[in-house]
Amino acid sequence: MSNSDTKVWLITGSSSGFGRSLVEAVLKKGDRVVATARKPEQLDDLVQQYPETIHPVRLDVTNPQEIQASIKSALNQYACIDVLVNNAGYATLGAIEEFSDEDIRRQFETNFFGVLNMTRAVLPTMRKQRSGHILNISSFAGVVAFGGLGIYSATKFAIEGISEALVQEVKPLGINVTLIEPGTFQTNGAASVITPKQPIAEYAATIDSMQAAIVSQPGDPAKAAVAMIQVVESDNPPLRLALGEDSANGIAQKLDAMKAELEAWKSVSLSTAFEGETVGARN
């Protein structure tokens, strides 16, 4: 952690959506922000308002050189990084069959490898500090997959996996990891959703239904930002934080369904041991 009472946040995808709301909330709180975006000029109004506590940096998270440069710029400006928020990303809406290899790989490059590479780049600093907090912006769809969001969900499921492992590796070093799992929020995300170039008519009903769900956005991103700050300030932060009633209830329903299915098929699960072996035995 920094030597002052304020924290230094590095937030990717800061020009819009959750990133923009979080930057505004952190600056209002009095902390310092390295606000990264592909078009940092979109943050000019905040630079004018908070010239001493915001440091805009150009960053495309799919560019390894720019990732390293953003970390170096942050440390040159503020000498530490207390919080990394991996927020940059976008959604795709379409059936799995409809997307090209290029579409799918581009989605993973931004949503997954961008997060992975930013995290790996900041960890040496946090290890040296013996402190830090990494917030990975996942999604309700990172826990519960939906038809029409399969590729997007896959990237978020992957983030869930690395975060669950990462916290076990870095917790002993004083570093926290939290997955943020928002439901539908009133950001500009729906307007930037990527759809297939060659849609298939047989999937239209499924995709139209999911499109309607995405358009319905009851969540307030400003309140989501307050919740994320609360997590960072907690002495016992969670690994996962669902945001929104749809996310909290939907994840609970999936967990209940998984538990019921596991119990229903448990006898089959346990029938696969060699004869005479004790279930759960270790050599």
95-133 b/e (C-beta count within 10 Å ≥ 16 → b):
beebbeeebbebbbebbbbbbbbbbebbbebbeebebbb
For position 3, what pLDDT does the model report? Answer: 43
The pLDDT tens digits of the residues spanning 74-87 come to 999 999 999 999 99
pLDDT band at 204 (very low <50, low <70, confident <90, very high): very high
For position 218, what pLDDT does the model report? Answer: 78
The pLDDT tens digits of the residues spanning 174-201 come to 999 999 999 998 776 556 789 999 999 9
Q: What does pTM read for this prediction?
A: 0.93
For position 4, what pLDDT does the model report? Answer: 52
Q: Could you give phi then psi for residue 144, rounded to 5 degrees?
A: -120, 115
Is 78 a known active-site residue?
no
Among 130, 92, 132, smallest CA distance to 111 is for: 92
Active-site pick, 78, 156, 163, 247: 156
| Summary mean pLDDT of the chain | 94
pLDDT at 1 over 50: no
Active-site pick, 138, 153, 163, 247: 138
Q: Report angle CA 208, 155, 255 to the nearest 5 degrees.
A: 80
Is 128 a known active-site residue?
no
Neighbouring C-beta atoms of residue 202, cutoff 10 Å: 9
Residue 93 · residue 214 · CB < 8 Å: yes
Neighbouring C-beta atoms of residue 181, cutoff 10 Å: 25
Domains along the chain with CATH numbers: 8-271 (3.40.50.720)
Q: Which amino acid is at 131?
A: S
Contacts of 35 (CB under 8 A, 6+ apart): 11, 14, 19, 23, 43, 46, 54, 55, 56, 57
Active-site pick, 16, 139, 152, 247: 152
Is 28 a known active-site residue?
no
Rounded Cα gap, residues 114 and 60, in angstroms: 8
